[in-house]
Amino acid sequence: MPGKFGPLTELSLVLLALTAPKYAVSVPKVHGWATDLAHALGRETTRIGASLRWDRYEAKLACDREAGLAWMFIPATEIAAGVSTGFGRRLAAGLADRLSGDRDPIATATQDYLLFLELLGVRDCTKELDDHLRFIVERILRQATLGCPDLYDATHAIFYLTRFGRLPDRCKRPSAALHNRLCAAAIRQADEGDIDLAAEIVACLLYAGSPLDRQVGEITRRIAAGPQADGGIVNTRGLHPAVSESFRSRYHPTLVAVMALAEVQHAATAA
């Protein structure tokens, strides 16, 4: 994801997932690490917020329905750290006020913007996110072949509807047909060097209630075999060409691999 705050936003969303209370028992070390990091990041986010003119960004965010992703780190970090900052509340109140005069403020909104509004507490976008997921699922089941954009659309639709696994009941369990198609695609992606996308598929399937079956186990083994000597996961292909090489090849794959493996461990513990 390109953008000034891209790496920060990606980190905050992974921390949003890993600080979920369910992990405190099933993967306590990961949960503890994520919680400590979320608090540290929260302090930095507060510092950033204190130096910005929020009235300018409220106006921009109210008009630009594609701008939410760049600022997602604010509410995501607050939720992950369990804190509520003054500037976060002010941004939410200002944005809600500006959108109140719009008869249909989310008619043209992207998924990113919908999640942004939800995390800020401005609006419940369950229906819109669910409608978007159903549209993507229908397209995936209809297509003969699946490309990376199709797979990223599917994973992010589930991430956003389930709020990165925190609200699993909002998502209908994937059908056997969808589960099998996504698992086959994940194995292919992993074998071609795209551990990042394979990990996203594993996480989204488990967030949505898919079983921890043999296929998911095969993908998990490929992900777990990926760490380098320093613990990082390296991608040899995939991700957006506009982002930096380090972000594309190591930073993002490592984050989503940790997220996926934590959910696998949780699912195994809960089984």
Exposure b/e, 208-241, CB count within 10 A at least 16 = b: bebebeebbeebbebbeebbeeeeebebeebbee
Q: Does 145 have pLDDT greater than 60?
A: yes
| Packing angle, helices 28-50 and 73-81, rounded to 10 | 130
Tokens matching residue 237: 């292909």
Where in the sequence is the domain holding 227, given as residue range(s)? 126-271
Q: Do 218 and 230 fall within a single domain?
A: yes
Specify the higher pLDDT residue, 96 or 31: 31
Q: Do 91 and 17 fall within a single domain?
A: yes
Q: How far apart are CA 216 and CA 212, in angstroms?
A: 6
Q: Which amino acid is residue 30, in one-letter code?
A: V
Q: How many domains does the chain have?
A: 2
In the block, residue with structure tokens 């936003």: 9
Q: Do 138 and 81 fall within a single domain?
A: no
Work out the burial of residue 34: count CB atoms within 10 Å of its CB; fewer than 13 is exposed, 13-18 middle, 19 or more buried. buried
Q: Do 241 and 157 fall within a single domain?
A: yes
DSSP state of 122: S
Q: Model's pTM, two decimal places? A: 0.90
Region label for 215, one of left (φ > 0), alpha (ψ between -120 and 50) or beta (otherwise): alpha
Q: Do 133 and 113 fall within a single domain?
A: no
Q: Do 160 and 258 fall within a single domain?
A: yes
Specify the higher pLDDT residue, 74 or 63: 74
Q: Does 164 have pLDDT greater than 50?
A: yes
Among the residues of 64-104, which ranges form H helices? 73-81, 86-99
